[in-house]
Amino acid sequence: MLLTGSLLAVAVALIPLVYLGVRAAEAGGERIRAELLTGATAELAATSLALAALVTAGCLLLGVGAAFLVTRTDLPLRRTFGVVAALPLAMPTYVAAFGWVSVVDGFHGFWPAALVLTFCSFPYVYLPVAAALRSVDPAVEEVSQSLGRGGRRTFTGVTLRQIRPAVVAGGLLVTLYVLSDFGAVALLRVNTFTRSVFTSFDLGFDRVGALVQATALVVVTLVILGAELAVRRHDTRYAKVGGGTRRPARIVRLGPWRAPALLAIVAVAAGSFAVPGAALVRWTAEGVSRPGSPAEIAGAAANSMGVSALGAALTMLLALPIGLLTARAPGPLSAVLDRLTYLTHALPGLVVGLSLVFFGINVAYPLYQTRWLLALAYATLFLPLAVGAVASAAALSPPSLEEAARSLGRGPWAVLRTVTLPLTLPGIGAGAALVFLTCMKELPATLLLRPTGMDTLATELWTHTSVAAYAAASPYAALLVILSAGPVLVLARRALTPGGTP
Amino acid sequence: MNALVVRAAHKAFGPVKALDGAELTVPAGSLTAVLGPSGCGKTTLLRCVAGFEHLDAGEITLGDRAVSGSGRHVPAHRRGVAVVPQDGALFPHLDVAGNVGYGLDAAQRRSGRVDQVLELVGLAGYGRRMPHQLSGGQQQRVAVARALAPRPRLVLLDEPFSALDAGLRAGLRADVRAALHADGATAVLVTHDQGEALSMADQVVVMHQGRVRRQGTPLEVYRTPGDPWVARFVGDAVLLPGTAGGDRVPTPLGELALDRACHDTITVLVRPEQIRVTPPDAAPDAVAATVRGQLFHGHDVVLDLRLDDGTPVTARVLDRGQQLVPGQRVGLTVDGPVHAMPGPEPVAG
Amino acid sequence: MRTDRRPSTAVTIGTDTRRKAAPRAVVASLAAAVLLAAGLAGCSGEEPKDITVYSGRTQSLVQPLIDEFTKKTGITVAVRYGTTAQTAAQLQEEGDKSPADVFLSQDAGALGAVAKAGLLAQVPAELLAKVPAPYQHAGGQWVGVTGRLRVFAYNADQVKPEELPKSVLDVTGPQWKGRLGVAPTNASFQTFVTALRVQHGDAKAKQFLDGIKANEPQIRDNNIVIVGEINDGKLPAGLVNHYYLFEKAAELGVSPDQLKVKLHYFGDGDTGGLLNVSGLGLLKKASGNAKAKQFMEYLLGVDGQTYFATKTFEYPLIAGVPTAPGLPSLADLKIPAINLNDLDTLAASVEMIKNSGLTS
């Protein structure tokens, strides 16, 4: 059952790879060699990987740092900052980048792009790490200190070790996200693989060249996933032996570091929010273009939320079997199935969108240009976000609970309804919230796959910015961020509650 | 009438044979302890009985109903076998009454059964508490009550006390035993703790390497374990080689009376508490030995002794204030008949 | 061996679960939203439209005209907006099963690519007859709708009138080092390179691109950014299409001559003053579709052409429709007459741009 479901989900996730395979075969070996075996490819690969590495490092630093500050220190207004630190998830990179560009002169290139991407994606690390820090047993840290290790060495030697799975998982999402991002790199003019794929479509309307480049991106992703799997295999789970209630973790007194820590958090929040926010205000003030009627804006918002909800639901449905399999039957098979869902996560939305056009035309024509196919594209793109949430939620309902329930005479469905679902639903809900807000921000696949005539906030934003009607665009941008902030609040609250996992 | 019969049960996980022909009979209304070291297959046996695992071969019968074997596998929820897991596994989202009433239908719940079993386990009035508001011992009591509530044919307890403090354990064991008996339940307790098995159970089953090595009352299993491995597993043992001639056998501890007549090379089991320690030459048939060390337990003392021929011997004596120091010479005699087990003692076991 | 969790873990979960009313509400609302979305998809009150247009041109510029068309003819139009390149890729991917009847493209190159894939039908002869030959497909598979002039845009404060280049070839000169914005991935730039090759030969075109590359060009993704930066004083000059200036003025609510950014037109047949076109293609399955033809006719009629001339400040391509006030007439400019619609030529231009290193 679980395995069949998992295989189905992986099949959906691999649609873009099948498509790329078909197109690469059409292109032929010679074309592929001509396209890929060039200095430009090496340069693109180097830039993409360097950017991904830098942003990942930055996100690990900011994410772990923020998580530590809000869970383990006497920082003032910890809960508020705990939520604030998650909010950048609601900010699409293209809005953030656009904001920075219009506020700071000459803001473009590698380092600025790294900065914007770090600001926008560090919550991918922050949320799981904050949850992990909340649930780490302080007893182990105390043992370490009793063995003569100071606070700092205990943190690096014991605490970090225990939250490492959360750190690695968040880091992986960031790395793959950066590889797939188009919004920020395009606006800030960094030549990554993804930008090059988009450009190739423009250059002579050559789809084959673009797709061949995308296959190179798949290879890069494979290497990253392999490396991550190798790292993760050395992680052992921390097993707690014996009873006893868990005490809350000790709070580190920041002392003289309080002001700098506060300043750092405020600076990150400003970088993620204040700058793009200021740009939106400026656009509105400067421009005379106006958005559509309130009804049109509301319609676009409803469409955004509708397709995002559908996408999130479908994604969770597909993620459920893989997540449960990973939690219940950990092993090489489930690890490989799980990782396969990550393969498309690094692909540009445009390529995934085209692959779903291919799938819709050739396999599922009745679904073509309906919300369902768009939802399927979202599932293909964002499955890894959901699988992680399901797996950690499933861990909250250990098999012994279900067995106890069955031994009391309840059938499988009754057990699912009365035990498993009530316990895992909050985690699944958090996963859905994450997928939902990611769908809200998605643009390229949405443009290709939306039902004809359906506008979402993201497409309206694109429509207006493409004719420099920034004032008309800004309400859509603001609404997009505000509506995405709702799910972020849910995620943050959950991460900051003991025992919760995002 | 037997509540549970397991015949020739086989179950392998890859190359590991967890059950290798296990046999078990549990009379109705009894408490049977399945005792064995980690990895002996006792938990697998329990999971097969509960229906969580499928048997590879063999047969499990509950009452008059075959539930596993010859291609049949009645699913766990149709067996009427309630489990008390090691960690209690209380449903964290339900209160105590909700947990206890989980296996009951609405009518049964209204019938007062929940309060009844809660009272049995000593938690009357705790129905509205949430699991996290209970101590570890209370959680296990709720788990037992929850298992008893639907009046299952069989209650399986999987090391339910192992996570608790020693002080809490003794009281809880007695209470759980009393509750099971009061409700007339048939129960199987899986444990690796000899004291727990011997003190709680009506019947003890010793498992080793996927097989049952000995089944009997606690007294039978302790006194007449039948083979040296079981002898050592259920308690401290002095094992001596000997060649029997009828109902007596010459050993380094002198000529001892056997619990049965035999004429072979045998291994003799002397329990440390059977050995009486006297001053040297106090008794005519005493064997001389030297004290090498002692372990003080409060109510008794375990002496590490060596016979003059070099044979190591352990003796357990009540502490009466006598002072024995290493190097001191003593005389040893053996009380009562000793248990004869076939064959020489295996080198390793 | 199984490793089970201890009660204490369950305790933590217990606390947690009861506080989870909020996420559960979220799940419930998500479920409700799905149902709502599915319901909307199922019984969407929209009846099927008469024709489907794939538009590579922006909604805000095109939709008013289409609404006008529907009002006049009663023919309803479903319009699918996207970028021209991505829409072309989508059409190629869809092949014969495409829902599209008409492709409205921002650029001739995209139409050429779709035509080459064998997806376009012959444009009716009476429509082709309205548009000058250089602005339609040699085989009659697409037809131009509006003209877009290549210009030299500059900031009036940073560039003196006497500095303005006479020919586009002059921008490789040292006075433009680091001062010139270009968008080499833009279709209009690609067509411009094709024109260079046609007029001056491949060697000269290559020399020009190398010269640009060596001159520290300010590479941007598109013309909007270049015009915006010039107006803001961040960039002195750039090679763009003419109408972006008018878009900028419209957004700021000022008249074009109030902007800092000004346009300089290359005359005398200089390649820099090339006219690009946006155009229409008729998908094969719609070749006999009278309503699709009517739609194309409308865009190429006086109403359609006037709309583009006055609202988007593009050059009308049919005779008798005046150019927007403030724009020089094509006749005065003596724009180079080059047939730009050969896709193979485009591929060679793209190759040349790629090799010049301007795109990386």
CATH number of the domain to which A351 belongs: 1.10.3720.10
Closest chain C residue to B39, measured at CA: C1
Q: Are residues C238 and C317 in the same domain?
A: no
Selecting from C19, C41, C353 the residue whose C-beta is nearest the C-beta of A497 gives: C19
- Which residue type sits at A187? L
Q: What rounded mean pLDDT belongs to chain C?
A: 84
Q: Are residues C351 and C241 in the same domain?
A: yes
Taking the C-alpha atoms of residue C99 and residue C51, their distance in angstroms, rounded to an integer, is 9
Taking the C-alpha atoms of residue B267 and residue B349, their distance in angstroms, rounded to an integer, is 13
* C244 labelled ligand-binding: yes
Locate B5 and state its tokens: 């019969």
Q: Are A121 and A54 in contact (CB under 8 A)?
A: no
Q: Considering only CB atoms, which chain B residues are within 8 Å of A419?
A: 91
Number of domains in chain C: 2
Residue A234 in this model has a pLDDT that exceeds 50: yes
CB-based contacts of B343, cutoff 8 Å, min separation 6 = B264, B265, B266, B267
Res. A246 pLDDT band, cuts 50 70 90: very low
Quick: pLDDT tens for B245-259.
888 888 888 888 888
Q: Are B43 and B63 in contact (CB under 8 A)?
A: no
Q: Are A74 and A251 in contact (CB under 8 A)?
A: yes
Number of domains in chain A: 1
Q: Are residues C124 and C239 in the same domain?
A: no
Selecting from B79, B91, B146 the residue whose C-beta is nearest the C-beta of A419 gives: B91
CA B271, distance to chain mean position in Å, is 18
Q: Are residues C90 and C142 in the same domain?
A: yes
Q: Which domain holds residue C125?
A: 51-147+275-323
Our CA-based measurement puts residue B87 at a distance from the nearest CA of chain C, in whole angstroms, of 5
Q: Are residues C154 and C261 in the same domain?
A: yes
Our CA-based measurement puts residue B119 at a distance from the nearest CA of chain A, in whole angstroms, of 20
* Residue A252 within any structural domain of the chain: no
Q: Which domain holds residue A434?
A: 2-235+257-495
Quick: pLDDT tens for C43-71.
444 578 899 999 999 888 899 999 999 99
Other CB atoms closer than 10 Å to residue C128's CB: what's the count?
18
Q: Considering only CB atoms, which chain A residues are within 8 Å of B77?
A: 406-412, 414-415
Locate C146 and state its tokens: 């509006």
* Residue C17 within any structural domain of the chain: no
Is the alpha carbon torsion for A386, A391, A396, A397 positive or negative? positive
The predicted pLDDT at position B224 comes to 92
* Residue C41 within any structural domain of the chain: no
Res. C14 pLDDT band, cuts 50 70 90: very low
Q: Are B100 and C21 in contact (CB under 8 A)?
A: no
Distances (CA, A) of C145 to A283, C34, C104, C280: 32, 42, 9, 7
Question: Which domains does chain B carry?
Answer: 2-232 (3.40.50.300), 236-342 (2.40.50.140)
The predicted pLDDT at position A250 comes to 67
The least confident of B213-222, C7-16, C193-202 is C7-16
Residue C41 in this model has a pLDDT that exceeds 60: no
The predicted pLDDT at position C210 comes to 93
Residue A238 in this model has a pLDDT that exceeds 50: no
Residues B89, A403: C-beta atoms closer than 8 Å: yes
Closest chain A residue to C16, measured at CA: A499
Selecting from A398, A407, A422 the residue whose C-beta is nearest the C-beta of B81 gives: A407
User: Which residue, A252, A256, A259, A260, is CA-closest to A151?
Assistant: A252
Strands B154-158 and B187-191: parallel
Residues B131, C12: C-beta atoms closer than 8 Å: no
Closest chain B residue to C20, measured at CA: B93
Q: Are B234 and B222 in contact (CB under 8 A)?
A: yes
CATH at residue C196: 3.40.190.10
Asked if B157 has any chain C CB less than 8 Å from its own CB, the reply is no
Closest chain A residue to B52, measured at CA: A403
Residue C147 pairs in a beta bridge with: C277, C315
* Residue A243 within any structural domain of the chain: no
* Residue A124 backbone zone (phi > 0: left; psi -120 to 50: alpha; other: beta): alpha
Q: Are residues C177 and C134 in the same domain?
A: no
Q: What rounded mean pLDDT belongs to chain A?
A: 85
* Residue A246 within any structural domain of the chain: no
Taking the C-alpha atoms of residue A142 and residue A150, their distance in angstroms, rounded to an integer, is 10
Other CB atoms closer than 10 Å to residue A83's CB: what's the count?
18
Q: When comparing pLDDT for C198 and A442, which is higher?
A: A442
The predicted pLDDT at position B149 comes to 92
* Residue C58 within any structural domain of the chain: yes
Q: Which residue has the tokens 């804006």?
A: A297
Helix (H, G, I), strand (E, B) or coil at B231: helix
Q: Are residues C189 and C231 in the same domain?
A: yes
Q: Are residues C194 and C281 in the same domain?
A: no
Selecting from B91, B147, B163 the residue whose C-beta is nearest the C-beta of A243 gives: B163
- Which residue type sits at A183? G
* Residue C229 within any structural domain of the chain: yes
Taking the C-alpha atoms of residue C243 and residue C295, their distance in angstroms, rounded to an integer, is 24
Distances (CA, A) of A462 to A98, A199, A481, B283, C189: 12, 17, 15, 106, 22
Our CA-based measurement puts residue C27 at a distance from the nearest CA of chain B, in whole angstroms, of 17
Beta carbon pairs, A and C, within 8 Å: 219
Q: Are residues C178 and C264 in the same domain?
A: yes
Q: Where are the beta strands (DSSP E) in chain C?
A: 51-55, 77-81, 102-105, 142-155, 180-182, 218-219, 237-241, 261-264, 275-282, 315-316
Quick: pLDDT tens for B236-246.
899 988 888 88
* Residue C57 within any structural domain of the chain: yes
Other CB atoms closer than 10 Å to residue A161's CB: what's the count?
17
Quick: pLDDT tens for B287-319.
889 999 888 887 888 899 999 888 899 999 886
* Residue C118 within any structural domain of the chain: yes
Residue B346 in this model has a pLDDT that exceeds 60: no
Our CA-based measurement puts residue B216 at a distance from the nearest CA of chain C, in whole angstroms, of 28
The predicted pLDDT at position C12 comes to 30
**For the residues B106-114, what does the mean pLDDT come to?**
89
Closest chain B residue to C11, measured at CA: B132
Taking the C-alpha atoms of residue B148 and residue B187, their distance in angstroms, rounded to an integer, is 10
Is the alpha carbon torsion for C204, C209, C213, C218 positive or negative? positive
Percent of chain B at pLDDT > 70 equals 97
Percent of chain C at pLDDT > 70 equals 86
Taking the C-alpha atoms of residue B178 and residue B200, their distance in angstroms, rounded to an integer, is 10
Residue B221 in this model has a pLDDT that exceeds 90: yes
* Residue A103 within any structural domain of the chain: yes
Quick: pLDDT tens for A416-467.
888 888 888 888 888 899 999 999 999 999 999 999 989 999 999 888 887 7
Burial C57-80 (b: 16+ CB within 10 A, else e): bbbbbbbebbeebbeeeebebbbb
**For the residues A168-182, what does the mean pLDDT come to?**
91
Is the alpha carbon torsion for A3, A9, A10, A12 positive or negative? positive
Residue A237 in this model has a pLDDT that exceeds 50: no
CB-based contacts of C336, cutoff 8 Å, min separation 6 = C195, C199, C269, C270, C271, C273, C274
Quick: pLDDT tens for A262-295.
888 888 888 888 888 888 888 888 877 777 788 8
Touching subunits of B (3+ CB pairs, under 8 Å) are: A, C
Helix intervals (H) in A73-206: 78-84, 93-103, 110-121, 123-135, 138-146, 151-154, 160-180, 183-187, 193-202
The DSSP output letter for A419 is: I
The least confident of A228-237, B16-25, B338-347, C167-176 is A228-237
- Which residue type sits at B138? Q
Question: How many residues belong to chain B?
Answer: 349
Taking the C-alpha atoms of residue C282 and residue A314, their distance in angstroms, rounded to an integer, is 37
Residue A234 pairs in a beta bridge with: none
Taking the C-alpha atoms of residue C219 and residue C178, their distance in angstroms, rounded to an integer, is 10
* Residue C7 within any structural domain of the chain: no
The predicted pLDDT at position C134 comes to 85
Q: Are residues C140 and C287 in the same domain?
A: yes
Concatenating the DSSP letter of every residue in A246-275 gives PPPPPPBP-GGGHHHHHHHHHHHHIIIIIH
Quick: pLDDT tens for A55-95.
999 999 999 999 989 888 888 888 888 888 888 889 999 88
* Residue A500 within any structural domain of the chain: no
The predicted pLDDT at position A146 comes to 67
Q: Considering only CB atoms, which chain B residues are within 8 Å of A408?
A: 77, 82, 102-103, 146-147, 149-150
Helix (H, G, I), strand (E, B) or coil at B215: strand
Using only C-alpha atoms, what is the Rg of chain A? Answer: 23
Quick: pLDDT tens for C56-109.
998 888 999 999 999 999 999 999 999 888 899 999 999 999 999 999 999 888
**For the residues A317-334, what does the mean pLDDT come to?**
84
**For the residues B74-88, what does the mean pLDDT come to?**
88
Q: Are B309 and B252 in contact (CB under 8 A)?
A: yes
φ, ψ for residue A316 (rounded to 5)?
A: -65, -40
Q: Are B5 and B61 in contact (CB under 8 A)?
A: yes
**For the residues C157-173, what does the mean pLDDT come to?**
91
Q: Are residues C76 and C159 in the same domain?
A: no
* Residue A240 within any structural domain of the chain: no
The DSSP output letter for C309 is: I
